Structure 1
Amino acid sequence: MHSHVIAGYAGRWFNSDIAMKWLWFCCLLPCSLNASAQALRVGFGTHKPPYIFENEARGLEYDIVMTAAQRGGLEPVAHYAPMERLNLMLNKGQIDVIATTNERSGGGSIFYSDVYIRYQNVAVALRSRNLDIQRISDLAGYSVNAFQRARFLLGSEYQAMSENNPRYREEAFQIARNRMLYSGRVDVVVTDMRILRYFNREVYTQVDVTQPLALYPIFAATDYKLGCRLQVYCERFNQGLAAIRESGEYTTIERRYAVY
């Protein structure tokens, strides 16, 4: 009788111990699953629709980068700042990857992903100025305003022009380029036309955006990549990018912003 009682208590103790272990395992399981998705601090430049709508969690480039990162098993979190500052943040380890860059950017010892988007930059001037621009070197004779780090991203000929042109400036905010162009404060702006057209909606009460423009297609298309502090970030992003291209999700994102 006494031995049966002891056995009964032992069995209850054993079952309770197993149950506690299973409960502990089940509590840990969600954490273990989430641990497979690695947090990724992504640096995006300032507001430049339709590619990036700052602090709105949308945009052609934003959607591609964030979706590809998620498909690669990462948990991306967006950080916005001017491109010069983002490069410093990346080098200091304050962010993990930077968008809209490539090997020309002079970003230091970092890794680069596959190409995920292409911009087509042009030189733009008021047609009334009758400028003669046939090649990149011709910009040396004019005041020029471009986006930050254009001096690296647009090639060696462009960099030489920028370094020898005392009237060359780079500006973090695209909307300022629209104002300067239409007000005549600068001869030429260097930009992607989709961005320029978008910001016309925001400056039309400040400057006359109906003035005819002259476009000078002197630049090759610019392929952009992620710049990554660690190679594994680029590898996982590349996996996700390939997945959304194959599934058709990449095309769906492009169509979402086709109206801009």
Structure 2
Amino acid sequence: MAFSLDIPPYIFEQYNKGIEIDIIAAALTHKGHTLRPLYFPLGRIPIAFQNNLVDAAMGDMGIDLTPHGGFYADPTVIYDNVFISLKKNNLTINGPADLDNLTIISFQGAEKRYPQWLKKPFEEKRFYGISDQLTQVKLLNLERYDLVLSDRYIFKYFVKQLKYEDNIQVNQVDEHHFAEIDPLDYRPVFRSQQIRDDFNFGLKKLKESGEFQAIYDHYIK
């Protein structure tokens, strides 16, 4: 299954662990399947699926994989993406026009996920997509970019990492909620309809048993 490179606390590539990997692995185990993660930059995940390099993908990164033999499963992990700015800049983000003249750094494929917000910055070369989300936090802190678009938990994880491992104090930030979360944006894709169904069954059992929440709590708390 194609996963992104490191996205702590959801994906720890070095250990084949993390919230998302643990949940998907546990759900597949219910029907006897074994997860083998393969790691790609975010933007290459759908390409890996299209080119038959993997049997499944953690998501489609905004590209419909149905024409390429994809069967969409139920949502697994929901990323709570927000714009993040340095508090001292006192930015207000209420609509796409508020991004005019601002530079934005985010995960690869964000411009496909949020075209209403990011099409113009992308076309004007004010948007930069990068897989390394630790670098996103560093560049915001250094004021190289005005905004980071990131999941709240991911950003906070790397703020802590900078503080405790590199002794770097990140400036205070503001979070700007800009879009309603659509769970359909976060569906794993399988090449086999049967395995998709088996996964959905296992995911339902995880939620009923409390194991789903226990995995989250293990990493977040």
TM-score normalised by L of structure 1 = 0.76
CA distance in 2, matches of 1:164, 1:200: 30
Match of 1:203 among 146, 149, 162: 162
Question: In 2, Cα distance between the equivalents of 1:53 and 1:106?
Answer: 26
Task: Give the alignment of 1:205-220 within 5 angstroms.
Answer: 205=166, 207-209=168-170, 211-220=171-180
Residue type of the alignment partner of 2:56 = V
SS at 1:76's partner residue?
Answer: coil
Q: State yes or no: 1:51 paired with 2:47.
A: no
- Tell which structure's C-alpha radius of gyration is larger: 1
Q: Go from structure 1 to structure 2 and tell me whether the alpha carbon gap of 1:222 and 1:46 turns closer, same or farther (over 3 Å shift).
A: farther
After superposition, give the CA deviation of every residue in 1:199-220 in whole Å (9 maximum; x if it has no partner). Answer: 12333437541x1112111122
Distance change (3 Å), C-alpha of 1:69 and 1:233: same
- 2:63 matched residue in structure 1: 105
Structure 2 unaligned segments of length 5 or more: list them.
none
Bigger strand share: 1
Instruction: State the partner residue of 2:194.
Output: 232
Query: What CA distance in whole angstroms lies between the structure 1 residues aligned with 2:99 and 2:148?
Result: 10
Q: Percent identity?
A: 26
> Which structure is higher in RCO with an 8 Å CA cutoff and minimum separation 6?
2
CA RMSD between the two structures? 2.0
Task: Give the C-alpha shift of residue 138 in structure 1.
Answer: 2.1
Where does 1:107-122 land on structure 2 (aligned, <5 Å)? 107=65, 109=67, 110-122=70-82
Tell me how far 1:86 sits from its aligned partner.
2.0
Q: Secondary structure at the match of 1:132?
A: coil
SS in 2 for 1:257: helix
Counterparts of 2:84 and 2:175, CA distance in 1: 5
Please list every run of 5 or more consecutive structure 1 residues that lacks an aligned counterpart in the other structure: 1-41
Aligned match of 1:12: none
* Aligned counterpart, 1:165: 124
Pairs within 5 Å for 1:38-187: 42-101=1-60, 104-107=62-65, 109=67, 110-154=70-114, 156-187=115-146
Structure 1 stretches of 4+ with a deviation exceeding 4 A read none
Question: What amino acid is the match of 2:191?
Answer: R
